[in-house]
Amino acid sequence: MSPMTSPSANHQVPRAAAIVGLAGVALIHLLELQTKLKEVPYLGMGYVLLIVTSVVAAALLVHSNSRAGWVIGGGAALGALLGYSLTRTIGLPQSTDDIGNWLEPIGLASLFVEASVAALAGYAMATFLPAISRVTADRNPSILPIAG
């Protein structure tokens, strides 16, 4: 199998896209952070948590094709999507001004990037991460549980 068609090479593209997407999630929320901290401080702190989580997940994925990176990154993206949906539907305490405001440009960019990262994480978890686990188990049978 050539390096370009190896499973490892095939995993590079979604991983790279997720890293860029996570950087985008962090940047979008960083751009809105100052305003959010002034308007609704608890949401601003949520933005800080999302920024840090996105950077950590991206760093994990830069280092390796780690399950932790995918789970953290996908979870952060899904959490941000949920938060956006809540602020646009029922609102949150001290934050009802955006109810119905689905077409804000930075919000649409955020939805696109977060949905992309969540989809990539789902794809990774469903396809190539189980294959990596099987290869690891084949190479080291001692990590398999003992049936008894």
Residue 2 clears pLDDT 50, i.e. is over it: no
Q: What are phi and psi of 78, to 5 degrees?
A: -65, -40
The DSSP symbol for 95 reads: B
pLDDT (tens digit, 9 = 90+) per residue, 4-53?
Answer: 445 566 789 999 999 999 999 999 999 999 999 999 999 999 999 999 99
Confidence of residue 127 (pLDDT cuts 50, 70, 90): confident
Q: Which residues of 100-116 are buried (b: 16+ CB within 10 A; e: fewer)?
A: eeeeeeebeebbebbeb
Position 146 pLDDT exceeds 90: no
Average pLDDT, the chain: 87
Residues 20 and 144: their CA atoms lie apart, in Å, by 35
pLDDT at 147: 47
Domain boundaries, the chain: 12-131
